[in-house]
Amino acid sequence: MIFISPVILTKEINKVYGTGSVKVEALKKVNLEINKGDYISIIGPSGSGKSTLMNLIGCLDTPTSGKIYIDDIDVSTLKENHLAKIRREKIGFIFQKYNLIPTLNALENVTLVMGFAGVESKIRIERAQELLNKVGLAHRINHKPSEMSGGEQQRVAIARSLANNPSIILGDEPTGNVDTKSGNSIMEILESINKNGNTVIIVTHDPKIAKRAKRMIMIQDGIVSEEHV
């Protein structure tokens, strides 16, 4: 049997905010193993620690103790610039509020991340067009975020998250700000991405969205438990 190492592996991670008497333990001894091609939802009420977990998996933050491995790289002690490199190469973010750059149009928003990674300009534009085409926005490439609907903006964000071909797509309430119909089409796009082999992780508080995933991770008071669907 061939041993396949997980895409994300967390070992006993703790995250403590604050110091002294006002310490808040946001995560307690979290152990997770996420494999390549997984489709996972992380669900929990607000204040449960799910955002903290997402920040750690997304390499936006480092744990107080414990280890996190992304593609076998120990990211728990990396410095900011190395974390930035991991973020742009291995992780594609999708935020609840789309978080596109308001001054740039759809195409530029997608090419920007490839720019951070140093991709050649001509290739960038080709790939961005291809991705926007894939999310059904070929007609919107020259529009600025303010000229698009929430659903369209979120699809640009998905295209952006895919730009550097990351192994992990991390969605933080990706349907939280759009209507049901748009939310559905966004989930369908994410699911098709998963079918292509990318690992998709959705953080949500909506059980209906969460149940679409193949694995559901519950989080409550900083403690993780898994429920198979």
Partner 1 sequence: MFKDNFNLAFKNIKERLSRSILTLLGIAIGIMAIISLMAIGEGMNVAVTGELSSLSDTILVNVGDGFSIFSMGSMDNNGEYLTERDINDIERIIGIKEVTTQLTSGGLLRYNGDEVAVTLTGIDSETMQVQYSVDGLEEGTLLADNDQNKVVIGSKIAHDYFDNDINVGGRVHINDQKFFVIGVFSEEGMGGLTSTDDIILLTPRDFEKITGESNIYSATVTVYDVNSVETIADEIERAINENHGSDDFASATTMSSILESIQMVLGIIQTVLVAIASIALIVASIGIMNTMLTSVMERTREIGIMKAIGATNKDIMITFILEGMLLSIAGGSIGILLGVLGSRGATAVLGNMGPPGSGSLEPVISLSAVILAVGVSMIVGIFSSLYPARKAAKMSPIEAVRYE
Binding positions for partner 1, rule: CB under 8 A: 55, 58, 60-61, 80-81, 84-85, 87-89, 93, 95, 99-104, 108, 111-113, 115-118, 121, 160-161, 164
CB of 121 to partner 1, least distance (A): 7
* H helical segments located in the chain: 50-57, 80-90, 106-116, 121-134, 150-162, 180-195, 207-210
State which residue, 43 or 54, has the beta carbon closest to partner 1.
Answer: 54
CB of 184 to partner 1, least distance (A): 25
CB of 87 to partner 1, least distance (A): 5
CB of 64 to partner 1, least distance (A): 15
The full DSSP string for 80-139 is HHHHHHHHHHHEEEE-TT----TTS-HHHHHHHHHHHTT--HHHHHHHHHHHHHHTT-GG
State which residue, 90 or 212, has the beta carbon closest to partner 1.
Answer: 90
Q: Which long-range contacts (CB under 8 A, 24 or more apart) does 47-53 make?
A: 48/219, 48/220, 48/221, 48/222, 49/15, 49/219, 49/221, 49/222, 50/203, 50/205, 50/219, 51/172, 51/203, 52/15, 52/26, 52/27, 52/222, 53/27, 53/203, 53/219, 53/224
State which residue, 63 or 216, has the beta carbon closest to partner 1.
Answer: 63
State which residue, 26 or 219, has the beta carbon closest to partner 1.
Answer: 26
State which residue, 87 or 212, has the beta carbon closest to partner 1.
Answer: 87
CB of 3 to partner 1, least distance (A): 30
